[in-house]
Amino acid sequence: MTQAVLLDIKNLSVGFRGGQDQFVSILRNINLTVHAGETIGIVGESGSGKSSLAFAAMAYFKSGLEAQSGQVVFNGQDLLQENDSAVQKIRGGAIALIPQNSGQALTPTMRIGEQISEVLQLHSRYRPEQFRDRTIALLGQVRLPEPGILIDRYPHELSGGQQQRVAIAMALAGEPELMFLDEPTTGLDVTTQAHILKLLKDICDERKTAMVYVSHDLGAVAQVCKRIVVMYAGQIVLDGSARDVLQSPAHPYPRALLKSITRLSEATIPQALEGRPPMPGIVPAGCAFADRCMAAQDRCRTEQPRLVKLANGQTTRCFYPEEPKLNAARGTTRPAELDPDSFASQSDTLLAIENLSLTYARPSLMDQIMGRPPQGVPTVDDITLGLARGETLGLVGESGSGKSSILKALAGLLPFADGKLIFDGTSLSRRGTEDRDRAHLKMIQLVFQNPDDSLNPRQTIAQILAQPLNLYFDLTTAQVRQRSEELLEEVRLGPRYLERLPSQLSGGEKQRIAIARAFAADPQVVLCDEVTSALDVSVQAAVLELLRNLQRKRGTAFVFVSHDLAVVRALSDRVAVLYQGRLCEIGTSQAVYQAPFHPYTEALVHSVLEPDPDFSPRVLADDIVELGPPAQGCAFQRRCPKHIGEICNTTFPPWQKSRDGHSIRCHHSLAALADGFTDEEQPYA
């Protein structure tokens, strides 16, 4: 590296003071050098200290945290020694931060232009009368359409992707030499994420700005960064070039992490990384990762490894950096693909959804008087799906696609405007849970996205599991207890968890409890709403594995909703793709993930990131605000890269059935949709 050193973090330890004058470290002895123009990714699980490191590198500490030792030298200045006003001059100027959730980082009552002008005023050489032109130029640089109009908009008038672009423009306004990005694409839709990553990459290339990209997502880091630093339990455990770290990491933690990622290219549930990192403040005698490491030796548990530079250029904190030869197999393969025709007959349909339509519009006074349903374009419309016994049906789509709304309607939490819901031959009421009888409620159970929210914080695990058991079954207290213990065994937790509270459990454990609660009712259908997206990558695989094992054992059917195409593929027999509350494509997961594609599916599939330095997503659909589904024509008409013309805007496209048994709703012929994909080029066949 011939470039000048921009930021030099020396022996930095950060933590908070606990009781009895203890110092609980969040970061321990961090040494990190960032050269001018360098792009570094900092990856690790939640709690690994990666965000704290990024903030500490700006000499910013969340309340309670403080630097215990070390230096943060930026351009020759030790930021930890400077006073606040000196550091604030640098922050937002030469060092910029792009936060995770720009929607919250932007002031809602200020126009975009004013917010950027503030930065210009503080950190640039421009005069006030130049601010407007400069702001428009910046908005253009981050490729926002019509910057002259956008400058007078308020943040809420922009889409999530556009807000993120504004945040990037704000960071660029101070003409930074170094940018910190804190999970900048987490929470964005996949197609938007691909846009933002491409933009960041181009900014790096054009402006030669150094970038520190903090993310849990190895796929995103692989797109932008040349160098990757892996954090674990507040320490750097591996530091090397992106290519080396992603392809042959010299530390067992990133190795296990890479194996635990669901990939679109492989329809398997990956190998889970069990366990959890040590709690902050607990400094193990040996290697912090030893408890979860498959190759751990006795020495790993008694002696702390130090960072060592290897011949291959990687710096690792491991005694045995070579990958052990055993355990070469990756994941467990799925059972043979089901014959697509087996569902064509729908002879064993457990749950049939016919022409389901949902609306969030409130009935107007006129509607109430006339006793008619609310007028207007329904949020979700014309959904016809069948779920066979023991089958997994995946619903994919971006935010606003209506996938969670459909799930809520199935669970009876949302009354639907039109259509039918037939469970095992019985038509379920349109109005929801109050009108369903207990036997039907028992048969359909729901698992939510975020276990922090779906488990009552004031109930012990025993109380939580007793809820469905007492409601649906006539059991004695002892039987409830016994059943709860069995359920805990089934989700591989064990009876010792019974007396704990949800807050004493890790995210993965909490989700297992939520799954156990759903299965306590002995349901025939379990509705899974983004069950893995609130979890760490390393935990996701274990939860997927658990769901599949339970399904095999109990013969339960799943409706599996996710925005993550790779996760859906790993678990689903059939997949339905939704856009703006309308079905685009449905078929076996094998068929849906290969050509012919619906143009929207194609855009989605190509936006998915792989943790591979040679992979780059293809950006097909524009990232614009979709306010609501169009009243007529194809739902995807406004963003479709293959838009034909008038027919797409006026006529609802027909279903077309392909030879491999999957159906696409598009005006293009199947041949045209398959065009451009030769057999060799099938992206994920």
Residues that bind another protein (CB under 8 A): 46-47, 51, 186, 216, 411-413, 433, 436, 438, 441-442, 445-446, 448-450, 452-459, 463, 467-468, 471-472, 501, 503, 506-507, 517, 521, 534-536
Minimum CB separation of residue 533 from another protein in Å reads 9
Q: Residue 172 or residue 288: which is nearer to another protein going by CB?
A: 288
Minimum CB separation of residue 173 from another protein in Å reads 26
Minimum CB separation of residue 450 from another protein in Å reads 7
Q: Residue 447 or residue 578: which is nearer to another protein going by CB?
A: 447
Minimum CB separation of residue 473 from another protein in Å reads 12
Minimum CB separation of residue 83 from another protein in Å reads 28
As beta bridge partners, residue 69 has: 13
Minimum CB separation of residue 48 from another protein in Å reads 10
Rounded to the nearest 10°, the torsion over CA 496, 500, 503, 504 is: -50
Q: Residue 424 or residue 452: which is nearer to another protein going by CB?
A: 452
Q: Residue 454 or residue 656: which is nearer to another protein going by CB?
A: 454
Are the C-beta atoms of residues 357 and 383 closer than 8 Å to each other?
yes
The span from the CA of 424 to the CA of 426, in Å, is 6
Helices (H), 532-598: 537-554, 565-571, 589-592
Q: Residue 526 or residue 568: which is nearer to another protein going by CB?
A: 526
3-state secondary structure of 566: helix
Minimum CB separation of residue 36 from another protein in Å reads 29
Q: Residue 334 or residue 517: which is nearer to another protein going by CB?
A: 517
**Quick one: tokens of 52?**
């704290």
Q: Residue 377 or residue 501: which is nearer to another protein going by CB?
A: 501
The span from the CA of 248 to the CA of 251, in Å, is 9
Q: Residue 300 or residue 466: which is nearer to another protein going by CB?
A: 466
Please give, one letter per residue, the 3-state secondary structure of 474-539. CCCHHHHHHHHHHHHHHCCCCHHHCCCCHHHCCHHHHHHHHHHHHHHCCCCEEEEECCCCCCCHHH
Where in 156-298 does DSSP place strands (E)? 178-182, 210-215, 227-232, 235-241
Minimum CB separation of residue 10 from another protein in Å reads 25
Minimum CB separation of residue 463 from another protein in Å reads 8
Residues found in the chain: 685
190-207 and 599-607 helices cross at what angle (nearest 10)? Answer: 50
The amino acid occupying position 142 is V
Q: Residue 75 or residue 467: which is nearer to another protein going by CB?
A: 467
Give 363's DSSP letter.
P
Minimum CB separation of residue 507 from another protein in Å reads 3
Distances (CA, A) of 389 to 343, 414, 557: 10, 24, 5
The span from the CA of 127 to the CA of 120, in Å, is 9
Q: Residue 343 or residue 448: which is nearer to another protein going by CB?
A: 448
The position carrying tokens 């910190």 is 180
Q: Residue 131 or residue 232: which is nearer to another protein going by CB?
A: 232
How buried is 587 (Cβ within 10 angstroms: 0-12 exposed, 13-18 middle, 19+ buried)?
A: buried
Expressed in angstroms, the distance from the first to the final Cα of the chain is 41
CB atoms within 10 A of CB 55: 17
Q: Residue 521 or residue 559: which is nearer to another protein going by CB?
A: 521
Minimum CB separation of residue 496 from another protein in Å reads 17
The position carrying tokens 């599991």 is 465
Distances (CA, A) of 567 to 265, 286, 531: 11, 35, 10
Q: Measured at the alpha carbon of residue 1, what is the angle toward residues 322 and 227, in degrees to the nearest 5?
A: 50
Minimum CB separation of residue 413 from another protein in Å reads 6
